[in-house]
Every structure is written in structure tokens, then in C-alpha cells.
Amino acid sequence: MPYNEANGKSCTRRLTFCAGHRVWGHESKCANIHGHNYVVKIEAEAEIGLDAIGRVVDFSVLKERVGGWIEHFWDHGFIGHREDWQVRGAVESIPGQKHYWLPYNPTAENMAAYLLEVICPQVLQGTGAVVQRVVIGETENCEASAWF
């Protein structure tokens, strides 16, 4: 295999945010409205090759673009399933309440997949970086991943 300077190289940016959610239809306490101090890890690889100084992408780009999206849409808001009409009605009845409705339950697995498949390709377009893995931790003991 020919040498490629980008082979086997990635960079990971850790981001944090706070948000409320509920897992619609959950069999236990996560069916209740509650919140987490989320930790997100965004792992990117170079689309073509490392940049002129040997990076996949500058860490600040991941922070500004992915972290900026998270801050704008999810941080200190409520994340819910768009078909969870009970919670949706309650949340939307609060004037100015920040909310984001996903097309599926806001589990850590689904949130990681949404960032990986929908948001990262949009916000990182033109940077030369492609996100290959997203890890979301809800607590110190529980995290979920999505990857290509």
C-alpha cells in the first residue's frame, strides 16, 4: 500500500453541554423529564490528507463549528422526540423555552448518530475533515457511540 500521511491519523475534540430530555416510552425512570451534563467526543479524519502543518483539522474548527451548533441548538435547552406530544405541548407552552425536536427518541445513541450523519457533514463542509465517530456520555458511567 502506498504511503499516505493521513493513514491512521485522527483528532478528537471533547465538547460539553447541558440539556433536558426524556426517553419517550422508556420502561423506567428515563421516561421522566430530566437532564444531563453531556460530554461529546468528535473524532475526525482528513478527507484527502493532512493540512500543510500536519493536522487533520485544527481543534478550534471542531469546537467552533460542531460546538457552536450544539451551543446554539441543544445547550441549556430541551431535546425531545418530535412525536412525543405530551412533552412537546408542555415545553412549547413555556415562552422562550429553547427546544429541539429530533425525528426519533433523544437517546445518547440517537443523538450521537444525528450529529455524525446529519450535523457534522453540514457544519464541517469545506474544512477537509470528516467525522468518523461521535461518542456522547450522559454520565461518567454511561456513553454511547455512532461511527462509520
Residue 6 placed within a domain: no
Residue 5 placed within a domain: no
**Residue of 97, 98, 105 whose CA lies nearest to 80:** 105
Q: For residue 88, give the CATH number of its domain.
A: 3.30.479.10
State mean pLDDT over 51-58. 95
Q: What is the pLDDT of residues 7-40, one digit of tens each?
A: 789 999 999 999 999 999 999 999 999 999 999 9
Q: Report the distance separating Cα 108 and Cα 120, nearest Å.
A: 16
Under the banding of pLDDT at 50, 70 and 90, the label for residue 1 is: very low
Residue 42 placed within a domain: yes
Give the count of domains, the chain: 1
Residue 137 placed within a domain: yes
- pLDDT value at position 5? 65
**CB environment 63-98: b (16+ within 10 A), e (fewer):** bebbbebbeeebbebbbbbeebeebbeebeeeeeeb
- Provide the residue range defining the domain that includes 137: 11-147
Q: What is the pLDDT of residues 85-114, one digit of tens each?
A: 999 999 999 999 999 999 999 999 999 999
Contact at 8 Å (CB) between 38 and 133? Answer: no
For Cα atoms 112, 68, 84, give the angle at the middle one, nearest 5 degrees.
Answer: 50
**Residue of 47, 34, 25, 6 whose CA lies nearest to 132:** 47
Residue 101 placed within a domain: yes
Q: Report the distance separating Cα 107 and Cα 84, nearest Å.
A: 13
- What residues are annotated to the active site? 30, 76, 138
Q: What is the pTM of this model?
A: 0.94
Residue 142 placed within a domain: yes
Q: Is the pLDDT of residue 63 over 70?
A: yes
**Average pLDDT over the chain, rounded to an integer:** 95
Residue 100 placed within a domain: yes
**Residue of 107, 137, 148, 112 whose CA lies nearest to 18:** 137
Residue 4 placed within a domain: no
